[in-house]
Amino acid sequence: MKKLSLLYAIAFLGISVATAEAQLISESHYYKKTALPGETVTFTARLRNISSSAQLVYGAVVVTTRGTASFELYPSPAPPPLLIQVQGRGELNLSVRLPEEEGSYSVSMLVFDAFTDTRILTVFGQMPLFIGDPQQSINVHPSRVNFGKLEYGRFMYPIPFKVRYKIFLPNAIGDQSPWAIRIYTDNANKYKGLRGTIRQLSPAGLVHSTGKYTIPIKFWNLNWGPDAHTTGWDAAIQGPPPIEDDRFWKGVLTDESTPDHPINDHDLKPWLSIHDYADMTVEPDTWRRAVGFFPYDGQFLNPTNLVGDYQLSRSPDPFEFYLALELNSTAVRGKYSGRLVLELISP
């Protein structure tokens, strides 16, 4: 399996909560999206005082894992309290040392009244802070597959392939780039094809021992893909869509009236053909992507940013996919084999 480096990006949203006595609102805020364990990071909040009196405040940061661990972090040494005049603005900078535990953390910035020690404002982060050591890896189980003896018709391998991956590689400014897991075969080096044919077949799929014939492969995984409204099949409940029905195998017609319907008609095919590496160009539209991340809205790929074929709505580690193939009546008997590659890539 190949693997490439990739990065990650995060969006941040502020929500203000204030008492009647001390009315502060958060106008903007910033912190690094990725950090190393134990690293000292500065959290910045731009505050505005909308009350009728000046405010003297100090702050703290709370980071909480997805589990039960929680850390309340105060700057060390503590900066002097920030005085914000009536109808004025001030910038609260909190430099704190992060926990040593790796993981994904939610973030809250707390603002306290310096006289009463009561909390008067909380700024909530919508997306998490990722703490970890730079790494990238991908593996698939099983790594070797025997389809056995196949008859004419369509066949789905009954066991799903489980994909695990780890991605953490911050760039110079502490952000992460969009990434995807693309899937393809690597058979062009042994595929000769037939001389004199009008249309040269792709070496994608399984290749005959003579190097002249191929059996295409398709894959499916439970990501965004076509939904039950479009295909009539709820894969979340019923599992992989049936391969016998051409509505699922070849794809349904694009319905312009469907909300958020995709632009590319191949997005409506639950079973997607896998390209060979030789068939892919530098244009992402020629790739087959199983999952990806888009930085500008802070979400995994969805119908509004069509940079992938199959997209997940949450972090998919591990995720599963199925393989299927079709032998028609003109298929040549013999032994077929191929090499399937999953690759982490940052487009």
**How confident is the model over 29-78, as pLDDT tens digits?**
888 888 888 999 999 989 999 888 888 999 888 888 766 677 888 888 88
Contacts of 198 (CB under 8 A, 6+ apart): none
d(CA 219, CA 310): 10
| Residue 3 in domain | no
Read off the DSSP letter of residue 329.
Answer: T
Q: Total structural domains in the chain?
A: 2
- End residue of a domain, out of 83, 105, 131: 131
Q: Given this model, what pLDDT does residue 187 score?
A: 93
Which position has the token pair 């909530």? Answer: 124
Could you tell me which residue, 86 or 134, shows the higher pLDDT? 86
Whether residues 108 and 141 fall in one domain = no
Of 24, 78, 76, the residue nearest 53 (C-alpha): 24
Sequential DSSP letters for 16-64: ----SSS-EEEEEEE--SEE-TT-EEEEEEEEEE-SSS-EEEEEEEEEE
Whether residues 140 and 110 fall in one domain = no
Q: Given this model, what pLDDT does residue 7 score?
A: 30
Indicate the pLDDT class of residue 176, thresholds 50, 70 and 90: low
Whether residues 141 and 221 fall in one domain = yes
Indicate the pLDDT class of residue 206, thresholds 50, 70 and 90: very high
Q: Given this model, what pLDDT does residue 330 score?
A: 82
Whether residues 89 and 147 fall in one domain = no
Could you report the per-residue pLDDT of 243-296, keeping only the tens digit for each?
Answer: 998 888 887 665 554 555 544 444 567 888 888 988 887 766 667 777 666 544
Torsion of CA 284, 287, 290, 295, to 10 degrees: -10
- End residue of a domain, out of 100, 131, 162: 131
Sequential DSSP letters for 99-113: PSS-EEEEEEEEEEE
| Residue 17 in domain | no
Which position has the token pair 């398709």? Answer: 218
Could you report the per-residue pLDDT of 331-343, keeping only the tens digit for each?
Answer: 889 999 999 999 8
d(CA 305, CA 299): 10
Whether residues 238 and 105 fall in one domain = no
Whether residues 120 and 225 fall in one domain = no
- End residue of a domain, out of 131, 152, 177: 131
| Residue 45 in domain | yes
Whether residues 88 and 139 fall in one domain = no
Q: How far is CA 268 from CA 38, 160, 235, 314, 333, in A?
A: 45, 21, 14, 20, 32
| Residue 14 in domain | no
Whether residues 173 and 234 fall in one domain = yes
Q: Given this model, what pLDDT does residue 288 score?
A: 75
Count of other CB atoms within 10 angstroms of residue 59: 24
Q: Given this model, what pLDDT does residue 224 score?
A: 55
Q: What percent of the chain has pLDDT over 70?
A: 73
Q: Which domain range does residue 251 map to?
A: 135-345
> Average model confidence (pLDDT) for the chain?
77
| Residue 310 in domain | yes
pLDDT at 195 over 70: yes
d(CA 145, CA 53): 72
Mean pLDDT of 105-118: 88
| Residue 105 in domain | yes
| Residue 6 in domain | no
337 token code pair: 């084999």
Whether residues 171 and 296 fall in one domain = yes
CB-CB contact of 292 with 178 (8 Å): yes
Contacts of 1 (CB under 8 A, 6+ apart): 138, 139, 140, 143, 341, 342, 343
Alpha helices in the chain (DSSP H): 228-231, 235-238, 246-249
214-215 β-sheet, strand order: 214-215, 206-208, 336-337
Q: Given this model, what pLDDT does residue 158 score?
A: 92
CB-CB contact of 177 with 171 (8 Å): yes
Mean pLDDT of 207-216: 92
| Residue 250 in domain | yes
Of 271, 268, 280, 321, the residue nearest 184 (C-alpha): 280
Whether residues 160 and 305 fall in one domain = yes
Whether residues 71 and 91 fall in one domain = yes
Whether residues 200 and 124 fall in one domain = no
Which CATH number goes with the domain that contains 104?
2.60.40.10
